Structure 1
Amino acid sequence: MASSSTSSTEKRFKYDVFLSFRGEDTHNNFVGHLYEALERNSIETYKDDKKIEQGKSIKDQLIKSIENSRFYIIVFSKTYASSCWCQDELVKIMECKKTTEQNIYPVFFDVEPTEVRKQSGAVKEAFAEHEKKEASGKWREAMKEASNLAGWELKVTANGDESELIQIIVDVIFKKLYSTNTSAGGKLVGMDIRISDVLSSLEISTKDVRMIGIKGIGCGGKTTLATAIYDQISTMFEGKSFVENVREVSKPSLSGLKKLQNKILKNVLNKQDITFSSVHDGKNMLKATLRRRKVLVVLDDVDCIEQLEALVGELNWFKLGSRIIITTRDEQLLLAHGVNFLHDVNLLSPREAICLFSRYAFKIEIPIEGYEKLSKQVFCYASSLPSTIKVKEDAIIVLESHGFRARIGLRVLEQKSLITYDEDGFLRMHEHLKEMGRNIFCRLNPDEPNKRCQLWIEEEIEDILTNDSEQEMETEALEAILMDEFAEIHPSESGLPTANRCFQITLSPQLTRQRSFKR
């Protein structure tokens, strides 16, 4: 994974990490294991004994490699200061830090920071032979500057446990690498903060097992969010599986669940010839497999508890450090399965939505001059998918007046992600739900809109109000006229509609008409 940048003006690096170390002290143990861990996590690392090309100047190669690395890990050991190569590397690294955005991470392997800073103890002994050399002054200054940077001390950070320190270093570099050069897709807007919220709950560096739920309306960004997180962290696990369209694939009864179980096993084991005879056997095989590997599993679009029980069971199925992410529209499903954290996918704000539209339409962050109003109209029409009604308590009053148990019903719809409440007091309904209801109304009287209980098609409303002067409009079933951006309906007095209430319907300047609707 060579480093890349989201901006064409930023420097592109050949290597993610440059390792500076004294081979005699650390080559065959700590640094060797650290290098393998970095490479295993797709962090492109320069280590001279691995990357030096034959027939070329070693010094020139080292200088170019330092310049073309985003991060530096300097492993200070007892004899580091005795190497002129190491000292020259360190001076070049400190120079790069002053002129570019590269970061330096010192690791104090078997020496203390104060020994490096003051060149005392073991460091003093190692440096003794260079005291009279011309470069000794800049070497001393470079060691002093590097030792003042935040890094890791083996005996303090990890209580002397080298494997633990290596894991800490890899985690930090991985997160830093993605935070500096990775965004959640070039044209996605508002995703970074949503990714950050979920990552804060996942806490990759902790050793427990965590199951995270992502809830939201259909087409509201759950899959996009889960995919972005998966892409960022999947290489930090020993096994991984992204299971798409769980709801759809599992429909053919048990055969669908077996197919999904098989997919997870194949992905985690990286093995194709896996067979079992039943969902029950699949569960047992998953438990036996997942307990031996630190895994990342994403289940996308889950809609029933049987899917969760068959695919990710309980937390004790998994090895410590594993993470499970579940996306669904059903909040109760996540609560029933006992997820550790629940995240709602918030729809784009007006500013974010217009920014997203502008990126696709104009290739810039804001609408170009002259298109501001049109862009806002597009946003109002799409409105990040849902239609909105400024209600809350008003909606409950209206629904209960028609015999519905509104408070309970609205809560169930909210748990199913069919409606949401925003901070401004809007009840937001999914666009697909609104379209389904309108289709039902249309089918009842497909060719006679004047007999419908709701009117919302602009042409039909205008035709009825302008061409129906000779015969009375059939309004026994009429409950509402909806005229977004076309007309407004003003009750003649406040409160709920009652029988024979008179409504003033204000249309365009060319067409104004008043009619009494009998209810």
Structure 2
Amino acid sequence: MAVLSELPEESSSFSSTHCNSPSTCGANSSTQAHRYDVFLSFRGLDTRHSFTDHLHKALIDANITTFLDDEEIETGEDLKPELENAIKASWASIIVLSNNYATSTWCLDELVLILEERMTSDHIVIPIFYHVESTHIRKQQSRFGDAMAKHKQMMEAETNANKRSELAEKMDRWNKALIEVASLKGNDVNGRFETELIEEIVQDIYRRLHVPLRNVRPLLIGMKYHINFVTSWLKDGSLHTADILTISGIGGIGKTSLAKYVYGLYCHEFHTSSYIEDITRKCDGKFNGLLDLQEQLYNDISKTNLIKVHDVSIYTTKIENVLIHKRVLLVIDDINTLVQLDALLGSKGFHPGSKIIITTKDRWLMGSCALFKTNIKPKHVERFIEGLHETKSRQLLCFHAFICNHPKEGYEEVTDKLVKYCQRHPLALEILGKSLHNRDLAYWEGFMEGLRKESNFLINSVLRMSFDSLSTKNDKDLFKHIACFFVGIDRDVSETILEACDINTRSGITNLIHRCLLSIGSNNELKMHQLVQEMGRFEVCKESLDKPWKRSRLWCHKESFKVLKQKKGKENLQGLALDMRILEKEKLGASFELKTDALSNMDNLMLLQLNYVHMHGSYENFPKELRGLCMHGFHLKSIPSDLSIENLVALDMSYSNIESFIGCYTNPQRLEKRQKLGGSSFKVKKMLGSLKILNLSFCKQLHSVGDFDQLPALERLILRNCISLLDVCDSIRQCVKLVLIDLSYCKKLEKLPQIIGMLKNVKIVLLDCCNLGESQIKNMDIDSLEMCIYNKIGVNRRTSFSSFVGIIPHDSKSFAISLPRSLVRLSLAKNKLSNESFPMDFSCLSMLKELYLDGNPINSMPSCVRALPRLEILSMGKRKKLKSVEYPPRTLRELFINPDDVYCIQKVVFDPEMSPLRLSITWIDYTYLLESKIGSYEIEGIIKIQEMVTVEEKVLHSLGWSNLDLLNKKHVGTNSSKSEIQMIYEFGIFSTMYEAEEMPSWFRHRSVGPSKSFAIPSLSSSSLNNLKGLHFCYLQR
């Protein structure tokens, strides 16, 4: 009985790829005959239950349609017709040549047919020399010689002359076939692990037949949006340029699956193609790894086998020469370094129409490669892949855990917890789903509990590849620091602290972002995928799995508490975090008192968090090398005088009981002692001379802050919600490096030093909900300010750029003159400004880049806006009377014009010398505008909607409206006074959409339902130039 492994019908999206010829797959008529990818020829006596069985399973698992005959047949019987048909219906044959292969006339007949098919078509033949020598086959020696001698004896013993003649002809064909197959390039099993060889064979078949692997399909759940994007990019029909698409994202996010799937669908549409997979792993630590990949690429695209060379540059030159002469589709998967990229693609460019897809964890790798240092640079598009939607994440997990799209009854809650843990990461969902397949609910719950203690090894191993790609110890240490302590912390604050820890953050953070290990949030905070963070912490755990005190960083509160309790901390510790509130919730450590001497041996500790920890003993035991100290809920009323903090750059004592902060001497008794000894002339060491960040927010007992002359390096002073604070000492004028002052919600603050206006580096002053008089504000010199928020007047959350939000005076016509000339961002949102009351002169704001006018009753763009020479962003949304935006500045990059009332906006007009296509324009969806029956709407050069009654009749005729009387009921026609049908002109194409009672006969593409999909003619076809319009008609049922 034959085992026929074919694709299920539901995999129709893959089945089209099986029509792809190993070369170009030109005619569809020929491809229909190919039912299988691979025909397996083997001697059952030797390998049926061992090598061939394992190979067959591997091919099936890889979605490679395989024919394997499962019946033994006696020697001498003729080849069954279905086997002959199967050979002809296969793209390739794998021949397992074993010791007894030639003893079977059936095998020899198969061999002859396979080689004949190779001669007459593109049939691929891959011989496997299974513990036999190719020379023995070619010269018919050893077991092969014995077998052929026996066949000769049988021929000679035949008494029937006709049969003897037929056998002689067969013998001749068999001899020639053995010589030919022995000369082909194949795979030798001798001295190799069979599993490795089988993997290579499967990958070779996949590469040469372009068969998408079976395991791609489930990984594509939730990837439809990305598939559509890449497909559109591939089929844009551009034959005059070569295009490069970079797909980036963290490991396991779906980059390879996406590229592999799209490649399998479209590789046959190019002159030649190649898929180079898993480059990082194949090059890692292997001397010839890159050379092997170059050989594979060259052989794929040139369709020749080059004599092996051992020079990367020679291979690169040969690859370049092919790439510039052939239209190719390349997938370069998991590229990691510029060396790899330049070696595989060179610098000469590509043949017009070529498409190159690159998957990488380094988002900025392409920008530095040799291709972009030439005069003719290829077009480059980047696609960054983030996690799946929550619904699709649930579906993917259930696919692997339950073999369906939803959880089993009773598993809903634990499924949702697991989906949340995976943070929309496809590979994590797959691995954990498979781990839980056919497991009971108790096992699921125990598994989840285990994940809280230790992350999954397989997930970590994939994500770790990005970490391993970091080239310097600095970047790896930075990644560990952030993963352990700084996720969610402001980037500027983090950089300040880490720079003091001898970490280069400027280049380091950029490198982490490029490798998708880190991102920056909308509020400038450091963001890291939860699984990436766990991987980073696991790297620290590996320093000592069982003895946490031997690690460099401790972030787990239980472990930190245990180390302090047992006083085991040593000089290896660089950072430690402990929050007693978390342990108290879990009823751990609440009754035990920690001693300060538990820190005495941590000589290299630089980062310390002791939130709500009441320590007893002398604070001189604290490490002397501290750079960042956070002690929320500190129980003492002043900072201990014996606390050595001269090296601190950041001190955060929010939510503490501190009553006063007086420069370096925070203890009033010590201050009194200093005055007795030497009065004001007494010279002391500036104990806080390195401090750059001071945060005493929510210290409700704090009533005074002074002696700022002891804080010469201070850059950020944060006293938010200190509700007892009465004043800030005039000595703040000594803090010449101050950039930010936050006194928000200090409701008793009555005095603000006027000297603040003399601090030229201050950019941000936050005084929200303070009771300062208006005179206090007016007396501030704000020429240097880039953002000032106060008295609940327009709190601006968009802090990624400089901004100014202030009170609009009664004389608004001239208020712009009072604004700082260095202003970069200005928000006048919701100030009830009309065109008549709007300021007339913005000439002083020559540096302004962003202007927000949202929520004002303005009916058109104020004329003064046109005079802003550097304006890049203009927002005019949420305006109920907006009718037009005419001639915005030529420098504009982004325009937001979302009106509340869609009936109002009519036109957006640009300067003749300005191209609107380079703008990012946000406006209401034009389908919504159509449904709203707006009379006319236009964004010049981009979109125009108008009633068809206003369209010239000759234009309508050219668009297919040859019989306008058909739609008279809809008032279509140039003589109508009213039209209910509107025409859209967008990017050079006219379109109409309307409701009808009967579908016009000239609508060719029809369907029942809320949507209709159809293929637009390829951009490379001659019909493109004739594509003038798209018409949509729908019938209400």
What is the TM-score of this pair, normalised by structure 1? 0.53
Name the amino acid aligned to 2:493: I
Once residues 486 and 405 of structure 2 are traced to their aligned partners in structure 1, the CA distance between those partners, rounded to angstroms, is: 29
Partner residue in 1 for 2:274: 241
Partner residue in 1 for 2:518: 419
Name the amino acid aligned to 1:37: A
Within the candidate set 339, 342, 352, 1:309 is matched to: 342
Partner residue in 2 for 1:498: 652
Q: Aligned to 1:276, what secondary structure does the other structure show? A: coil
Q: Relative contact order, CA 8 A, sep 6+: which one is greater?
A: 1
Once residues 307 and 7 of structure 1 are traced to their aligned partners in structure 2, the CA distance between those partners, rounded to angstroms, is: 35
Cα distance per residue 1:486-507 (max 9 Å; x no partner): xxx99549xx86369769xxxx
TM-fit CA distance, 1:223:
1.2
Q: Aligned to 1:185, what secondary structure does the other structure show? A: helix
Q: Aligned to 1:198, what secondary structure does the other structure show? A: helix
1:6 aligns with 2:6: no
Is 1:247–1:301's contact at 8 Å kept on the other side of the alignment? yes
Partner residue in 2 for 1:469: 592
Partner residue in 2 for 1:440: 540
Name the amino acid aligned to 1:347: G
Partner residue in 1 for 2:28: 38
Q: Aligned to 1:347, what secondary structure does the other structure show? A: coil
Once residues 507 and 344 of structure 2 are traced to their aligned partners in structure 1, the CA distance between those partners, rounded to angstroms, is: 31
Q: Equivalences for 1:119-198 in 2 at 5 Å?
A: 185-186=217-218, 188-198=220-230
Q: Equivalences for 1:103-502 in 2 at 5 Å?
A: 185-186=217-218, 188-203=220-235, 205-207=237-239, 208-251=241-284, 255-272=288-305, 274-314=307-347, 316=349, 318-337=350-369, 338=372, 340-385=380-425, 394-402=490-498, 403=500, 406=505, 409-421=508-520, 427-429=527-529, 431-432=531-532, 434-440=534-540, 443=543, 446-447=546-547, 449=549, 453-456=553-556, 465-466=588-589, 469=592, 472=595, 474=598, 479=608, 491-492=632-633, 498=652
Is 1:243–1:300's contact at 8 Å kept on the other side of the alignment? yes
Once residues 484 and 590 of structure 2 are traced to their aligned partners in structure 1, the CA distance between those partners, rounded to angstroms, is: 31
Q: Aligned to 1:331, what secondary structure does the other structure show? A: coil
Cα distance per residue 1:231-269 (max 9 Å; x no partner): 111121222211122223334577332211111122234
Is 1:241–1:297's contact at 8 Å kept on the other side of the alignment? yes
Once residues 392 and 384 of structure 2 are traced to their aligned partners in structure 1, the CA distance between those partners, rounded to angstroms, is: 17
* Structure 1: gaps (5+ residues): 17-33, 46-181, 483-488, 504-519
Change (3 A) 1:448 1:218: closer
Once residues 445 and 250 of structure 1 are traced to their aligned partners in structure 2, the CA distance between those partners, rounded to angstroms, is: 30
Once residues 272 and 284 of structure 1 are traced to their aligned partners in structure 2, the CA distance between those partners, rounded to angstroms, is: 16
Once residues 481 and 225 of structure 1 are traced to their aligned partners in structure 2, the CA distance between those partners, rounded to angstroms, is: 46
Once residues 247 and 424 of structure 2 are traced to their aligned partners in structure 1, the CA distance between those partners, rounded to angstroms, is: 18
Paired-residue identity, %:
21
Is 2:238–2:353's contact at 8 Å kept on the other side of the alignment? yes
Once residues 370 and 468 of structure 1 are traced to their aligned partners in structure 2, the CA distance between those partners, rounded to angstroms, is: 40
Once residues 338 and 415 of structure 2 are traced to their aligned partners in structure 1, the CA distance between those partners, rounded to angstroms, is: 42
Once residues 360 and 205 of structure 1 are traced to their aligned partners in structure 2, the CA distance between those partners, rounded to angstroms, is: 38
Name the amino acid aligned to 2:359: T
Cα distance per residue 1:252-299 (max 9 Å; x no partner): 577332211111122234444543342222123223333443222111
TM-fit CA distance, 1:374:
0.9
Which region of structure 1 is more displaced relative to structure 2, 466-475 or 269-278? 466-475
TM-fit CA distance, 1:378:
0.8
Once residues 315 and 237 of structure 1 are traced to their aligned partners in structure 2, the CA distance between those partners, rounded to angstroms, is: 20
Is 1:453–1:480's contact at 8 Å kept on the other side of the alignment? no
TM-fit CA distance, 1:366:
3.0
Change (3 A) 1:445 1:399: farther
Is 2:541–2:548's contact at 8 Å kept on the other side of the alignment? no
Once residues 592 and 311 of structure 2 are traced to their aligned partners in structure 1, the CA distance between those partners, rounded to angstroms, is: 69
Q: Aligned to 2:535, what secondary structure does the other structure show? A: helix
Q: Aligned to 1:443, what secondary structure does the other structure show? A: coil
Once residues 451 and 472 of structure 1 are traced to their aligned partners in structure 2, the CA distance between those partners, rounded to angstroms, is: 21
Q: Aligned to 2:528, what secondary structure does the other structure show? A: strand
Q: Aligned to 2:527, what secondary structure does the other structure show? A: strand
Is 1:215–1:330's contact at 8 Å kept on the other side of the alignment? yes
Is 1:454–1:481's contact at 8 Å kept on the other side of the alignment? no
Name the amino acid aligned to 2:237: S
Once residues 210 and 221 of structure 1 are traced to their aligned partners in structure 2, the CA distance between those partners, rounded to angstroms, is: 21
* Structure 2: gaps (5+ residues): 1-5, 35-213, 373-378, 426-462, 464-482, 566-587, 612-629, 635-649, 658-1037
TM-fit CA distance, 1:459:
7.7
Is 2:487–2:528's contact at 8 Å kept on the other side of the alignment? no
Name the amino acid aligned to 2:652: T
Once residues 258 and 220 of structure 2 are traced to their aligned partners in structure 1, the CA distance between those partners, rounded to angstroms, is: 10
Name the amino acid aligned to 1:310: A
Once residues 312 and 343 of structure 1 are traced to their aligned partners in structure 2, the CA distance between those partners, rounded to angstroms, is: 20
Q: Aligned to 1:260, what secondary structure does the other structure show? A: helix
Once residues 381 and 451 of structure 1 are traced to their aligned partners in structure 2, the CA distance between those partners, rounded to angstroms, is: 26
Is 1:266–1:274's contact at 8 Å kept on the other side of the alignment? no
Once residues 492 and 320 of structure 2 are traced to their aligned partners in structure 1, the CA distance between those partners, rounded to angstroms, is: 47
Q: Aligned to 1:479, what secondary structure does the other structure show? A: strand
Q: Aligned to 1:326, what secondary structure does the other structure show? A: strand
Partner residue in 1 for 2:201: none
TM-fit CA distance, 1:392:
6.0
Is 2:486–2:494's contact at 8 Å kept on the other side of the alignment? no
Change (3 A) 1:409 1:396: farther
TM-fit CA distance, 1:213:
1.1
Is 2:338–2:365's contact at 8 Å kept on the other side of the alignment? yes
> Alpha carbon RMSD of aligned pairs, Å?
4.7
Once residues 599 and 655 of structure 2 are traced to their aligned partners in structure 1, the CA distance between those partners, rounded to angstroms, is: 12
Name the amino acid aligned to 2:327: K
Once residues 610 and 231 of structure 2 are traced to their aligned partners in structure 1, the CA distance between those partners, rounded to angstroms, is: 46
Is 2:218–2:399's contact at 8 Å kept on the other side of the alignment? no
Cα distance per residue 1:61-93 (max 9 Å; x no partner): xxxxxxxxxxxxxxxxxxxxxxxxxxxxxxxxx
Name the amino acid aligned to 2:497: S
TM-fit CA distance, 1:437:
3.8
TM-fit CA distance, 1:469:
2.9
What is the TM-score of this pair, normalised by structure 2? 0.28
Partner residue in 1 for 2:849: none
Is 2:633–2:653's contact at 8 Å kept on the other side of the alignment? no
Once residues 405 and 359 of structure 1 are traced to their aligned partners in structure 2, the CA distance between those partners, rounded to angstroms, is: 44
Structure having the larger proportion of residues in helix:
1
Cα distance per residue 1:428-454 (max 9 Å; x no partner): 247356434444366379535599752
Which region of structure 1 is more displaced relative to structure 2, 386-395 or 220-229? 386-395
Is 1:184–1:191's contact at 8 Å kept on the other side of the alignment? no
Change (3 A) 1:414 1:4: same
Change (3 A) 1:286 1:253: same
